[in-house]
Chains A and B, each alone.
Chain A
Amino acid sequence: MPILNKDMQVCISLAARPSNIGTRFHNFLYDELGLNFAYKAFTTTDLPGAVTGIRALGVRGCSVSMPFKEAIIPLVDVVEESAAAIESINTVVNDDGVLTASNTDYEAVASLLASHAVDPSASVLLRGSGGMAKAVTAAFRGAGFERLTVVARNDQTGPALANQYGYEWVADERDASAADVVVNVTPLGMRGDQQDTLAFE
């Protein structure tokens, strides 16, 4: 990384519990490409204040993670069309004070479905109904998948997500039939508990 200097462009991230992954990913590439940029993860208990800071200090970009992906939408100026449909964003770019939001989770999942050649005629079981699940579900619909079941205990966000894309919803995975593709968009796998819920066909 170049020595910190007044002309350096700064990018940040906002998350309740930041990891170091984004900070390392972006700074590694700034260094490799010789870009006069720096990136640092932040948390905040004051989201409007953080966005005001982005504007006031000319922060170039802000990556947005849980739980801010939906709450930040009214605080930006422009939402790209694909992200507006998802109602969840993970990226804010600051162009001379105009904040434009987008959803690169959607783009990443769409390109992975294509590069792994996942067959759109496959049946899909998708666990979760949060901000990330919205982006993933939109990507499956965009890729032409017709048969997808959202599995979510939440009886508001679960059916709302399924209905938005013309898919089915069940609260309990035992009520879903076996699927060709299982997509996990819950933190269930993180700690390794509840392993019995991970069984799949």
Chain B
Amino acid sequence: MFDVVAFPSETPLVRAGRAAGKRVITGAEVIALQAARQFERYTGVALTDDQVRRASEFSRAE
């Protein structure tokens, strides 16, 4: 189950998928990874998985 909706990423579909024990990929993962690839194009700096994860958490913290 793959919900590309970016915000909020815990959509009713995502919640239903989790409740049904489905493997879920959320829009939060898509938006973080697409932003990471943009960042690398803009700056020429490659990001680690950990940097992407922390930037994603920060980006959604408000």
A binds B: yes
Q: Which residues of A contact B (CB under 8 A)?
A: 9, 11, 19-22, 24-26, 28-30, 32-33, 35, 37, 60-61, 63, 90-91, 93, 102, 104-105, 107-109, 111-112, 116, 118, 128, 132, 136, 181-190, 192, 195, 198-200
| Chain B hits for A61, CB < 8 A | 38, 41-42
| Total chain B interface residues with beta-carbon distance under 8 A | 41
Q: Which of A9, A24, A102 contacts B58 (CB 8 A)?
A: A24
Contact A190 B5 (CB under 8 A): yes
Contact B59 A184 (CB under 8 A): no
| CB<8 Å pairs between A and B, sample of 12 | A24-B58, A29-B39, A60-B42, A104-B33, A108-B37, A109-B4, A128-B4, A184-B11, A187-B5, A189-B3, A189-B12, A200-B1
Q: Which of chain A's residues has its CB closest to B7's CB?
A: A19
Which of B13, B14, B33, B47 has the most CB atoms of chain A within a 10 A radius of its CB?
A: B13
Q: A26-B39, A33-B45, A189-B14 are in contact. Are A181 and B34 (CB under 8 A)?
A: no
